[in-house]
Amino acid sequence: MSSTSLPVQIRSLLQPDFQKTDLILTELPMQQAKEGTDEHLIKVYATAPCGGELLWVRDFPQIVLPGKVGVPCYDLSGVVVTAPASSPFQPGAEIYTRTDAGRTGNAREYTIALTSELALKPKNLSWEEAASVPLSAFTAYQALFEHGGLNPGWNDEAGKLENSKKRVLITTSSGAVGVWVVQLAKIAGVKDIIGLAGPNNVDFVKSLGVTEVINYKQQSLGAWAAAGNPKVDLIIDMLGNQTLADAWTAVKDGGVLISIREPPENRKPKENAPKDVANHFFIMKPEGWQLKEIARLLENGEARAVVDSVWNLEEFKEAFAKSESGHPRGKAIIKVHE
């Protein structure tokens, strides 16, 4: 498609006020990629909301980059329309990514993504499946391998052997991020994967690689730890609050505790805390090379995308409600183009 045949106005979701979570479906001016930069214009086929994202700008104003418009949703799958001449992703390339939340998001018919963010869409995935992957897989990859001390064992037999000695616990093993933490831990060689899940998701998380399920309807993480179960080497928490406080009772001395919800230090017990626990709170960064690794795992059938539900752009309220419910199985998806 040439730039002359592109629309002037495009359909888009919009958050008019960053202090409120209200969204509208409207038309906005088409944003073009700037010449002389690494910006690509992408035709968006699917995108996905992330729980809590409509409060990010209010709560983390420092993330906002100049020119940000209140378009939500940072995961996407789509086709490159225009690209810098030096880019490996030329017009027609089918891509997937998660763009920086400091910029305008992707719940619109056309969007902008940078070379460093992009990866080729896995050939065996639909647009909707591909859009379910980036944010969750980035977060899981970085939690396990950049902050959690594990090796991407599929590239390293010695690393895989070392990983096999670790016990890893995930606090929402059926959620959007949890399904990727489970799968990547299993592929990397972890033998003991403990996952919190509700009764309806026990068999599902076991099918992904969880070896021991804590049914949170029957037993809290704190109760599980108090029952004398062996403590774990690495905990990855997506819930914060009391579950994160309980995590401190389940991690061993010298272990690692990671949360993507709040700094673990906030919930550290004042007495009898485990010794020498490395604890981290982090916000993922979009790194296209990591999605290239993930794409290979998906195309090889070693991992699978998990889509909870698919909604049309007009059904954005239902998609966000599903994402915010705290109980999606995988990711709620918004279809932008057919």
- b/e sequence 143-164, b meaning 16+ C-beta within 10 Å: bbbbbbbbbbbbeeeebbebbe
Start and end residues for every CATH 3.40.50.720 domain found in the chain = 137-281
Domain with CATH 3.90.180.10 in the chain: 3-133+306-335
Position 153 scores a pLDDT of 79
**203 has pLDDT over 90:** yes
Task: Decide yes or no: CATH 3.40.630.30 for domain 3-133+306-335.
Answer: no
User: pLDDT tier at 338 (50, 70, 90 boundaries)?
Assistant: confident
Put simply, whether the predicted model's pTM sits higher than 0.75 gets the answer yes
Residues 6 or more apart from 335 whose CB is under 8 A from it? 45, 46, 127, 128, 310, 311, 312, 313
Average pLDDT of 41-48?
98
Give dist(CA 287, CA 293) in Å, integer. 11
Strand bridging mode 167-170 / 212-215:
unpaired
Q: Give the alpha-carbon dihedral of 207, 210, 216, 220, to 10 degrees.
A: 170
Smallest Cα–Cα separation from 134: which of 154, 149, 144, 120?
A: 120
Q: Evaluate whether 166 touches 323 at the Cβ level (below 8 Å).
A: no
**Range name among 25-34, 41-50, 284-293 with the lowest pLDDT average:** 284-293
| Tokens representing residue 217 in the block | 């309807």
**Whether residue 1 has pLDDT greater than 60:** no
Residue 330 has what pLDDT? 85
Q: Which two tokens stand for residue 213?
A: 């399920």
Q: What distance in Å separates the CA atoms of residue 110 and residue 337, rounded to the nearest whole number?
A: 10
What's the confidence (pLDDT) of residue 3? 54
**Cα 126 to the center of its chain, rounded Å:** 18
Average pLDDT of the chain, as a whole number: 94
What pLDDT does 283 receive?
87
137-281 topology per CATH? Rossmann fold (3.40.50)
Model confidence over 51-100: pLDDT tens digits? 889 999 999 899 999 999 999 999 999 999 999 999 999 999 999 999 99
Residue 4 confidence (pLDDT) above 70: no
